Amino acid sequence: KQEVTQIPAALSVPEGENLVLNCSFTDSAIYNLQWFRQDPGKGLTSLLLIQSSQREQTSGRLNASLDKSSGRSTLYIAASQPGDSATYLCAVGTNTGNQFYFGTGTSLTVIP
Amino acid sequence: KAGVTQTPRYLIKTRGQQVTLSCSPISGHRSVSWYQQTPGQGLQFLFEYFSETQRNKGNFPGRFSGRQFSNSRSEMNVSTLELGDSALYLCASSESGALSYEQYFGPGTRLTVT
């Protein structure tokens, strides 16, 4: 069974700092990987989707990379803002239909 | 396009009762997945429906069931509720029926079992 881990579990940074969130998975036979953010008590907002054949995806201040062979993905957030404060989740898509395995999440706080 | 909608948003039930949650996917999306989110276990996959057929199922007891209608709307039912079923239930829709595609989540239904 696919196991997805995110480190650190919580992160607090001053506004303006660049930061990296980590996601690791045990089975490299993935179809894709998706990064989400979740605000307290809310649903998930999709940030970036990387297909297994891709190395990275960018959207605005966000850049996600994927290294299948080592079972790792990183989400880079440039010039962090207080509005970036949320829990960030990575989810690994399988080769067996629409089933994603989620990581435990990183709770990010950006201090003004 | 309208996003994924879930009803009701909040629900309080008593142990032993049953509950039905509803999810309307984004127009044109044919796949609907359901997830349970709890502080202790995080997000866990319940099941996925595509074209009215259950295609994938997670590791949950038979008290958890679902169905999908011809318009792609989906319902999830939990029978004989237990305190441990208290959770945020999220549904996600995606465009394709093939392998894992980008998923769009609804706001969730917060279920509290007393």
In whole angstroms, give the CA distance from residue A9 to residue A39: 15
CA distances for B46 relative to A2, A61, A81, B63, B64, angstroms: 15, 33, 34, 11, 8
For residue A92, give the chain B residue with the closest CA.
B100
As given in the structure block, the two tokens for residue A19 are 């930061």
Whole-angstrom CA distances from B30 to A48, A75, A99, A112, B73 are 21, 29, 14, 42, 9
**Nearest CA-CA partner of A7 in A20, A23, A25, A19:** A23
Contact B95, B104 (CB under 8 A): no
User: pLDDT tens digits, chain A, 112 residues: what are they?
Assistant: 889 999 999 999 999 999 999 999 998 888 899 999 999 888 899 999 999 899 999 999 999 999 999 999 999 999 999 999 999 999 998 776 567 899 999 999 999 9
Which of B99, B101, B111 to mutate to test binding with chain A, by most A CBs within 10 Å of its CB? B99
Are residues A22 and A105 in contact, defined by beta-carbon separation less than 8 angstroms? Answer: no
Model pLDDT for residues B14-42, shown as the tens digit of each residue: 999 999 999 999 999 999 999 999 988 88
